[in-house]
Amino acid sequence: MPLDLQGTDTSSLRAAMVGRLTSAGVLTDRRLRGALLHVRREVLLPHAYVRVSGPGADPIEWRLLDGSHPKDRQEWLDLIHNDESVLLQRDGEPLDALARGPVTGGGMTSMSTYTPATVEALQALGLAPGLRYLELGPGPGVSLALAATITGPGLATGVERDPHMAAFAQRNLDRLGVVAAMVEDDALAGHRARAPYDRIHSGIGVPCVPPAWVEQLAPGGRLLTTLATRTPSWPGQLLVARSDEGRIEAVLRGRPRGYRPMLGYQWLSALAHRARIEADPGRARPTRLVPPPDDAYGFWLVAAYLAPGLVRDFQAGAMTIVAPEDDSWAVAGPGDGTVRVHGPRDVWAELEDLHARWEEAGRPETYQVDLTGGAGDQRVTSGPGPKALTWTLPPLATVPRQTP
Protein backbone atom coordinates (compact mmCIF):
# COMPACT_ATOMS: atom_id res chain seq x y z
CA MET A 1 0.00 0.00 0.00
CA PRO A 2 1.68 3.26 -1.10
CA LEU A 3 1.94 5.90 1.59
CA ASP A 4 1.42 9.57 0.76
CA LEU A 5 3.74 11.59 2.98
CA GLN A 6 2.92 14.97 1.44
CA GLY A 7 2.36 17.58 4.09
CA THR A 8 3.06 15.17 6.94
CA ASP A 9 5.35 16.24 9.77
CA THR A 10 5.91 13.49 12.33
CA SER A 11 8.94 15.10 13.99
CA SER A 12 6.92 15.93 17.12
CA LEU A 13 5.92 12.27 17.50
CA ARG A 14 9.55 11.17 17.20
CA ALA A 15 10.60 13.84 19.69
CA ALA A 16 7.98 12.63 22.17
CA MET A 17 9.16 9.03 21.74
CA VAL A 18 12.79 10.07 22.32
CA GLY A 19 11.74 12.10 25.35
CA ARG A 20 10.00 9.11 26.93
CA LEU A 21 12.97 6.83 26.33
CA THR A 22 15.39 9.43 27.72
CA SER A 23 13.29 10.18 30.81
CA ALA A 24 13.03 6.45 31.53
CA GLY A 25 16.83 6.16 31.47
CA VAL A 26 16.71 3.75 28.51
CA LEU A 27 18.20 6.09 25.89
CA THR A 28 21.61 7.52 26.78
CA ASP A 29 23.64 7.45 23.54
CA ARG A 30 23.65 10.79 21.72
CA ARG A 31 24.25 9.24 18.29
CA LEU A 32 21.31 6.89 18.68
CA ARG A 33 19.19 9.75 19.97
CA GLY A 34 19.95 11.66 16.79
CA ALA A 35 19.12 8.63 14.63
CA LEU A 36 15.76 8.13 16.38
CA LEU A 37 14.89 11.77 15.77
CA HIS A 38 15.92 11.48 12.13
CA VAL A 39 14.49 8.14 10.90
CA ARG A 40 10.85 8.45 9.84
CA ARG A 41 9.19 5.33 11.19
CA GLU A 42 6.07 5.87 9.11
CA VAL A 43 8.05 5.02 5.97
CA LEU A 44 9.30 1.71 7.40
CA LEU A 45 6.01 0.79 9.09
CA PRO A 46 3.30 1.90 6.62
CA HIS A 47 0.67 -0.44 8.05
CA ALA A 48 0.02 -2.34 11.29
CA TYR A 49 -2.13 -5.21 12.51
CA VAL A 50 -4.10 -4.77 15.73
CA ARG A 51 -5.37 -7.85 17.53
CA VAL A 52 -9.09 -7.67 18.21
CA SER A 53 -9.81 -11.06 19.85
CA GLY A 54 -8.62 -11.98 23.32
CA PRO A 55 -6.14 -14.65 24.50
CA GLY A 56 -6.89 -18.19 23.36
CA ALA A 57 -9.15 -17.20 20.46
CA ASP A 58 -8.88 -19.49 17.44
CA PRO A 59 -8.95 -18.21 14.79
CA ILE A 60 -7.57 -14.86 15.86
CA GLU A 61 -9.41 -11.73 14.75
CA TRP A 62 -7.23 -8.84 13.53
CA ARG A 63 -7.73 -5.37 12.13
CA LEU A 64 -5.27 -3.95 9.61
CA LEU A 65 -4.52 -0.24 9.91
CA ASP A 66 -3.53 1.43 6.63
CA GLY A 67 -1.39 4.49 7.32
CA SER A 68 -2.50 6.10 4.07
CA HIS A 69 -6.20 5.94 5.00
CA PRO A 70 -7.62 9.01 6.80
CA LYS A 71 -9.76 6.92 9.16
CA ASP A 72 -6.74 4.87 10.30
CA ARG A 73 -4.07 7.53 10.24
CA GLN A 74 -4.07 8.89 13.80
CA GLU A 75 -4.37 5.48 15.46
CA TRP A 76 -1.61 4.16 13.20
CA LEU A 77 0.72 7.11 13.87
CA ASP A 78 0.24 6.75 17.63
CA LEU A 79 0.85 3.00 17.41
CA ILE A 80 4.10 3.13 15.43
CA HIS A 81 5.56 5.81 17.71
CA ASN A 82 4.79 4.12 21.01
CA ASP A 83 7.13 1.64 22.70
CA GLU A 84 5.44 -1.61 21.67
CA SER A 85 6.10 -3.97 18.78
CA VAL A 86 4.27 -3.24 15.53
CA LEU A 87 2.73 -6.31 13.87
CA LEU A 88 3.32 -6.33 10.12
CA GLN A 89 2.96 -9.72 8.43
CA ARG A 90 0.74 -12.81 8.79
CA ASP A 91 1.94 -16.22 7.67
CA GLY A 92 4.68 -14.90 5.39
CA GLU A 93 2.18 -13.04 3.18
CA PRO A 94 3.15 -10.63 0.36
CA LEU A 95 3.16 -7.06 1.64
CA ASP A 96 2.44 -4.97 -1.43
CA ALA A 97 -1.34 -5.37 -1.70
CA LEU A 98 -2.77 -5.63 1.83
CA ALA A 99 -6.35 -4.51 2.37
CA ARG A 100 -7.30 -2.50 5.46
CA GLY A 101 -10.01 -3.62 7.84
CA PRO A 102 -10.99 -6.88 9.59
CA VAL A 103 -8.89 -10.00 8.99
CA THR A 104 -9.47 -13.49 10.36
CA GLY A 105 -6.90 -16.16 11.19
CA GLY A 106 -3.19 -16.55 10.75
CA GLY A 107 -0.23 -15.88 12.99
CA MET A 108 2.28 -13.06 12.94
CA THR A 109 5.53 -13.87 11.14
CA SER A 110 7.15 -10.43 11.24
CA MET A 111 7.02 -7.39 13.47
CA SER A 112 9.12 -4.49 14.59
CA THR A 113 10.92 -4.91 17.89
CA TYR A 114 9.77 -3.43 21.21
CA THR A 115 11.45 -0.01 21.03
CA PRO A 116 13.29 0.00 24.39
CA ALA A 117 14.79 -3.40 23.47
CA THR A 118 16.04 -1.98 20.17
CA VAL A 119 17.59 0.98 21.96
CA GLU A 120 19.27 -1.18 24.60
CA ALA A 121 20.65 -3.57 21.97
CA LEU A 122 22.10 -0.86 19.73
CA GLN A 123 23.61 0.93 22.71
CA ALA A 124 25.20 -2.31 23.95
CA LEU A 125 26.86 -2.67 20.56
CA GLY A 126 28.43 0.79 20.78
CA LEU A 127 27.75 1.95 17.23
CA ALA A 128 29.94 4.66 15.72
CA PRO A 129 30.64 6.13 12.28
CA GLY A 130 32.72 3.92 9.99
CA LEU A 131 31.82 0.58 11.61
CA ARG A 132 30.69 -2.30 9.39
CA TYR A 133 27.30 -3.50 10.65
CA LEU A 134 25.37 -6.75 10.04
CA GLU A 135 21.75 -7.20 11.07
CA LEU A 136 20.35 -10.75 11.09
CA GLY A 137 16.59 -11.06 10.72
CA PRO A 138 15.94 -7.29 10.45
CA GLY A 139 12.26 -7.62 9.51
CA PRO A 140 11.01 -4.19 8.38
CA GLY A 141 14.44 -2.67 8.94
CA VAL A 142 13.86 -0.22 11.80
CA SER A 143 17.04 -1.08 13.72
CA LEU A 144 18.93 -1.46 10.43
CA ALA A 145 17.94 2.07 9.43
CA LEU A 146 18.99 3.44 12.83
CA ALA A 147 22.34 1.64 12.65
CA ALA A 148 22.97 2.78 9.07
CA THR A 149 22.23 6.37 10.05
CA ILE A 150 24.99 6.14 12.65
CA THR A 151 27.61 4.07 10.81
CA GLY A 152 27.29 5.86 7.49
CA PRO A 153 26.28 5.05 3.90
CA GLY A 154 26.98 1.58 2.55
CA LEU A 155 28.26 0.05 5.80
CA ALA A 156 25.07 -1.62 7.07
CA THR A 157 23.77 -4.95 5.74
CA GLY A 158 20.60 -6.85 6.67
CA VAL A 159 19.99 -10.55 5.99
CA GLU A 160 16.30 -11.46 5.88
CA ARG A 161 14.98 -14.97 5.16
CA ASP A 162 11.48 -13.95 4.09
CA PRO A 163 11.52 -12.77 0.45
CA HIS A 164 8.46 -10.54 0.81
CA MET A 165 9.81 -8.82 3.89
CA ALA A 166 13.28 -8.40 2.36
CA ALA A 167 11.83 -6.65 -0.70
CA PHE A 168 9.43 -4.58 1.43
CA ALA A 169 12.21 -3.39 3.75
CA GLN A 170 14.66 -2.57 0.92
CA ARG A 171 12.02 -0.55 -0.90
CA ASN A 172 11.22 1.46 2.23
CA LEU A 173 14.89 2.00 3.10
CA ASP A 174 15.43 3.36 -0.39
CA ARG A 175 12.45 5.70 0.00
CA LEU A 176 13.98 6.96 3.23
CA GLY A 177 17.29 7.59 1.53
CA VAL A 178 19.09 5.18 3.86
CA VAL A 179 21.98 3.54 1.99
CA ALA A 180 21.86 0.00 3.41
CA ALA A 181 21.71 -3.39 1.70
CA MET A 182 18.93 -5.89 2.44
CA VAL A 183 19.95 -9.40 1.36
CA GLU A 184 17.43 -12.24 1.00
CA ASP A 185 19.17 -15.26 2.53
CA ASP A 186 19.41 -17.51 5.57
CA ALA A 187 20.38 -15.29 8.51
CA LEU A 188 21.96 -18.28 10.28
CA ALA A 189 24.73 -18.18 7.66
CA GLY A 190 25.44 -14.49 8.15
CA HIS A 191 26.66 -12.81 4.98
CA ARG A 192 30.18 -13.81 4.05
CA ALA A 193 30.38 -11.55 0.97
CA ARG A 194 30.75 -8.36 3.05
CA ALA A 195 32.50 -9.86 6.09
CA PRO A 196 34.13 -9.22 8.46
CA TYR A 197 31.81 -7.00 10.52
CA ASP A 198 32.61 -4.74 13.44
CA ARG A 199 29.11 -5.11 14.87
CA ILE A 200 26.62 -7.96 14.42
CA HIS A 201 23.08 -7.81 15.79
CA SER A 202 20.61 -10.67 15.60
CA GLY A 203 16.93 -9.78 15.68
CA ILE A 204 16.02 -13.47 16.07
CA GLY A 205 16.56 -15.75 19.04
CA VAL A 206 18.75 -18.81 18.47
CA PRO A 207 19.36 -21.84 20.73
CA CYS A 208 23.13 -21.50 20.25
CA VAL A 209 25.42 -19.21 18.27
CA PRO A 210 25.83 -20.16 14.59
CA PRO A 211 29.57 -20.59 13.92
CA ALA A 212 29.32 -18.38 10.83
CA TRP A 213 28.41 -15.39 13.00
CA VAL A 214 31.53 -15.76 15.11
CA GLU A 215 33.72 -16.36 12.05
CA GLN A 216 32.45 -13.15 10.44
CA LEU A 217 33.13 -10.99 13.51
CA ALA A 218 36.12 -8.69 13.01
CA PRO A 219 38.90 -8.16 15.61
CA GLY A 220 37.61 -5.63 18.12
CA GLY A 221 34.05 -6.54 17.11
CA ARG A 222 30.87 -7.20 19.11
CA LEU A 223 27.96 -9.55 18.47
CA LEU A 224 24.62 -9.41 20.29
CA THR A 225 21.85 -12.01 20.18
CA THR A 226 19.06 -13.56 22.23
CA LEU A 227 19.59 -17.19 23.24
CA ALA A 228 16.19 -18.82 22.87
CA THR A 229 14.99 -21.63 25.10
CA ARG A 230 11.66 -23.43 24.90
CA THR A 231 10.12 -20.87 27.25
CA PRO A 232 9.45 -17.23 26.38
CA SER A 233 9.42 -16.45 30.11
CA TRP A 234 13.14 -16.17 30.86
CA PRO A 235 15.21 -15.04 27.86
CA GLY A 236 18.98 -14.72 27.81
CA GLN A 237 21.02 -12.06 26.04
CA LEU A 238 24.49 -13.01 24.80
CA LEU A 239 27.17 -10.42 24.10
CA VAL A 240 30.20 -11.77 22.20
CA ALA A 241 33.39 -9.74 21.90
CA ARG A 242 36.46 -10.52 19.81
CA SER A 243 39.65 -8.91 21.07
CA ASP A 244 42.11 -7.20 18.76
CA GLU A 245 44.21 -10.37 19.08
CA GLY A 246 41.28 -12.56 18.05
CA ARG A 247 40.30 -14.03 21.44
CA ILE A 248 36.54 -14.62 21.89
CA GLU A 249 34.70 -13.79 25.11
CA ALA A 250 30.96 -14.42 25.42
CA VAL A 251 28.82 -13.30 28.36
CA LEU A 252 25.23 -14.45 28.90
CA ARG A 253 22.78 -12.64 31.16
CA GLY A 254 19.05 -12.85 31.85
CA ARG A 255 16.73 -10.17 30.56
CA PRO A 256 13.07 -9.18 31.03
CA ARG A 257 12.47 -9.47 27.27
CA GLY A 258 14.13 -11.08 24.30
CA TYR A 259 13.67 -11.52 20.57
CA ARG A 260 11.32 -14.09 19.11
CA PRO A 261 13.02 -17.38 18.21
CA MET A 262 14.05 -18.46 14.74
CA LEU A 263 11.43 -19.80 12.33
CA GLY A 264 10.16 -23.24 13.30
CA TYR A 265 11.18 -22.95 16.97
CA GLN A 266 8.25 -23.98 19.17
CA TRP A 267 7.70 -22.15 22.47
CA LEU A 268 5.87 -23.75 25.36
CA SER A 269 2.68 -22.05 26.55
CA ALA A 270 0.71 -22.02 29.80
CA LEU A 271 -2.45 -20.74 28.16
CA ALA A 272 -4.18 -24.11 27.72
CA HIS A 273 -3.80 -24.83 31.44
CA ARG A 274 -5.00 -21.46 32.77
CA ALA A 275 -8.65 -22.37 33.36
CA ARG A 276 -7.77 -25.68 35.04
CA ILE A 277 -5.27 -24.01 37.34
CA GLU A 278 -7.82 -21.38 38.36
CA ALA A 279 -10.32 -24.15 39.14
CA ASP A 280 -7.82 -26.36 41.00
CA PRO A 281 -4.48 -24.74 41.96
CA GLY A 282 -3.35 -28.01 43.57
CA ARG A 283 -2.57 -29.34 47.01
CA ALA A 284 -0.92 -26.99 49.48
CA ARG A 285 2.41 -27.89 51.07
CA PRO A 286 5.06 -25.98 53.02
CA THR A 287 7.97 -24.45 51.10
CA ARG A 288 11.32 -23.05 52.14
CA LEU A 289 11.52 -20.92 49.01
CA VAL A 290 10.10 -17.42 48.99
CA PRO A 291 9.06 -16.72 45.37
CA PRO A 292 12.11 -15.09 43.76
CA PRO A 293 11.47 -11.59 42.41
CA ASP A 294 10.83 -11.11 38.71
CA ASP A 295 14.11 -9.24 38.32
CA ALA A 296 16.24 -12.11 39.68
CA TYR A 297 17.23 -12.65 36.07
CA GLY A 298 20.31 -14.72 36.89
CA PHE A 299 18.15 -17.32 38.62
CA TRP A 300 15.30 -17.41 36.12
CA LEU A 301 17.77 -17.81 33.26
CA VAL A 302 19.20 -20.89 34.96
CA ALA A 303 15.67 -22.22 35.42
CA ALA A 304 15.10 -22.01 31.67
CA TYR A 305 18.00 -24.43 31.13
CA LEU A 306 18.32 -26.58 34.27
CA ALA A 307 14.60 -26.98 34.97
CA PRO A 308 13.57 -27.44 31.32
CA GLY A 309 10.00 -27.59 30.10
CA LEU A 310 8.67 -24.88 32.44
CA VAL A 311 6.85 -21.70 31.49
CA ARG A 312 5.53 -18.85 33.63
CA ASP A 313 1.99 -17.54 33.32
CA PHE A 314 2.57 -13.84 33.87
CA GLN A 315 -1.17 -13.12 33.60
CA ALA A 316 -1.95 -15.09 36.76
CA GLY A 317 -2.47 -13.26 40.03
CA ALA A 318 0.01 -15.39 41.99
CA MET A 319 3.33 -16.70 40.65
CA THR A 320 2.32 -19.67 38.49
CA ILE A 321 4.86 -21.99 36.85
CA VAL A 322 3.57 -24.65 34.46
CA ALA A 323 5.14 -27.78 32.94
CA PRO A 324 2.59 -28.16 30.11
CA GLU A 325 4.02 -31.38 28.68
CA ASP A 326 3.87 -33.02 32.12
CA ASP A 327 0.43 -31.65 33.04
CA SER A 328 1.96 -30.19 36.19
CA TRP A 329 2.11 -26.79 37.83
CA ALA A 330 2.95 -24.83 40.95
CA VAL A 331 1.18 -21.77 42.35
CA ALA A 332 3.12 -19.85 44.99
CA GLY A 333 1.21 -18.97 48.15
CA PRO A 334 0.57 -15.38 49.28
CA GLY A 335 3.73 -15.14 51.35
CA ASP A 336 2.54 -17.61 53.98
CA GLY A 337 5.23 -20.25 53.49
CA THR A 338 3.09 -22.51 51.32
CA VAL A 339 2.88 -23.45 47.68
CA ARG A 340 0.22 -25.36 45.75
CA VAL A 341 1.42 -28.13 43.44
CA HIS A 342 -0.37 -30.35 40.95
CA GLY A 343 0.59 -33.25 38.71
CA PRO A 344 3.29 -35.92 38.54
CA ARG A 345 6.12 -33.37 38.32
CA ASP A 346 6.80 -31.34 41.46
CA VAL A 347 7.70 -28.13 39.68
CA TRP A 348 8.29 -26.15 42.87
CA ALA A 349 10.61 -28.78 44.36
CA GLU A 350 12.82 -28.43 41.28
CA LEU A 351 12.90 -24.66 41.71
CA GLU A 352 13.67 -25.03 45.44
CA ASP A 353 16.66 -27.25 44.69
CA LEU A 354 17.84 -25.08 41.82
CA HIS A 355 17.58 -21.90 43.88
CA ALA A 356 19.71 -23.48 46.60
CA ARG A 357 22.33 -24.39 43.97
CA TRP A 358 22.19 -20.86 42.55
CA GLU A 359 22.85 -19.40 46.00
CA GLU A 360 25.74 -21.84 46.60
CA ALA A 361 27.21 -20.71 43.28
CA GLY A 362 27.22 -17.11 44.55
CA ARG A 363 23.92 -15.92 43.03
CA PRO A 364 25.49 -15.32 39.61
CA GLU A 365 23.90 -12.80 37.28
CA THR A 366 26.18 -13.47 34.31
CA TYR A 367 27.51 -16.67 32.74
CA GLN A 368 30.49 -17.37 30.51
CA VAL A 369 29.89 -19.21 27.23
CA ASP A 370 32.64 -21.16 25.48
CA LEU A 371 32.08 -20.85 21.74
CA THR A 372 35.18 -22.75 20.64
CA GLY A 373 33.27 -26.01 20.16
CA GLY A 374 31.00 -24.69 17.36
CA ALA A 375 27.25 -25.24 17.10
CA GLY A 376 25.78 -27.77 19.51
CA ASP A 377 28.85 -27.95 21.76
CA GLN A 378 28.80 -24.54 23.44
CA ARG A 379 29.35 -24.81 27.17
CA VAL A 380 27.95 -22.35 29.73
CA THR A 381 29.32 -21.89 33.26
CA SER A 382 28.77 -19.52 36.15
CA GLY A 383 32.46 -19.66 37.07
CA PRO A 384 35.18 -21.94 38.41
CA GLY A 385 34.85 -24.46 41.22
CA PRO A 386 32.75 -27.53 42.01
CA LYS A 387 29.63 -25.48 42.88
CA ALA A 388 29.47 -23.73 39.52
CA LEU A 389 26.29 -24.03 37.47
CA THR A 390 27.02 -25.49 34.04
CA TRP A 391 25.11 -26.65 30.97
CA THR A 392 25.47 -27.14 27.22
CA LEU A 393 23.47 -25.08 24.73
CA PRO A 394 21.19 -27.10 22.42
CA PRO A 395 22.20 -27.42 18.76
CA LEU A 396 20.82 -25.49 15.84
CA ALA A 397 17.97 -27.12 13.93
CA THR A 398 17.55 -27.13 10.17
CA VAL A 399 14.80 -24.75 9.11
CA PRO A 400 13.04 -25.40 5.77
CA ARG A 401 12.99 -22.53 3.29
CA GLN A 402 9.75 -20.65 2.79
CA THR A 403 7.95 -20.78 -0.53
CA PRO A 404 7.23 -17.30 -1.89
The arithmetic mean of pLDDT across residues 335-344, rounded, is: 92
Closest Cα to residue 311, out of 352, 367, 273, 349? Answer: 273
Which residues, in sequence order, are CB contacts of 177 under 8 Å at separation 6+? none
pLDDT at residue number 32: 98
pLDDT-derived band of residue 376, with 50, 70 and 90 as boundaries? low
pLDDT, tens digit, 9 for 90 and up, residues 285-329? 999 899 999 999 999 999 999 999 999 999 998 999 999 999 999
Which residues, in sequence order, are CB contacts of 370 under 8 Å at separation 6+? 250, 378, 379, 380, 381
pLDDT, tens digit, 9 for 90 and up, residues 265-295? 788 999 999 999 999 999 999 998 999 999 9
Closest Cα to residue 143, out of 91, 194, 86? Answer: 86
pLDDT-derived band of residue 260, with 50, 70 and 90 as boundaries? confident
pLDDT at residue number 404: 42
Q: Give, in degrees to the nearest 5, the angle at Cα 331 between 329 and 334.
A: 175
Largest separation between any pair of C-alpha atoms in the chain? 66
pLDDT, tens digit, 9 for 90 and up, residues 217-251? 999 999 999 999 889 999 999 999 999 999 999 99
pLDDT at 402 over 60: no
pLDDT-derived band of residue 55, with 50, 70 and 90 as boundaries? confident
pLDDT at 133 over 70: yes
pLDDT at residue number 305: 97
pLDDT at residue number 403: 46
The arithmetic mean of pLDDT across residues 182-192, rounded, is: 97
pLDDT at residue number 278: 95
> What secondary structure letter does DSSP report for 153?
T
pLDDT, tens digit, 9 for 90 and up, residues 155-178? 999 999 999 999 999 999 999 999
DSSP string covering 305-341, please?
A: HHSTT-EE-TTSSS-EEEEGGGTEEEEE-SSSSEEEE
Rounded to whole angstroms, how far apart are CA atoms 251 and 366?
Answer: 7
pLDDT at 118 over 70: yes
pLDDT-derived band of residue 3, with 50, 70 and 90 as boundaries? low
pLDDT at 112 over 60: yes
Helix (H) or strand (E) holding 354: helix 347-360
Backbone angles phi, psi at 251, to 5 degrees: -120, 125
pLDDT at residue number 259: 82
- The beta-strand segments (E) located in 14-92 are 47-51, 61-66, 87-90
Determine contact, residues 122/146, Cβ cutoff 8 Å. yes
pLDDT, tens digit, 9 for 90 and up, residues 79-91? 999 999 999 999 9
pLDDT at residue number 307: 97
pLDDT-derived band of residue 399, with 50, 70 and 90 as boundaries? low
| Lowest mean per-residue pLDDT among 69-83, 238-252, 373-387 | 373-387
pLDDT-derived band of residue 396, with 50, 70 and 90 as boundaries? confident
pLDDT at residue number 6: 44
pLDDT at residue number 262: 75
pLDDT, tens digit, 9 for 90 and up, residues 6-51? 446 899 999 999 999 999 999 999 999 999 999 999 999 999 999 9
Task: Give percent of the chain with pLDDT exceeding 70.
Answer: 95
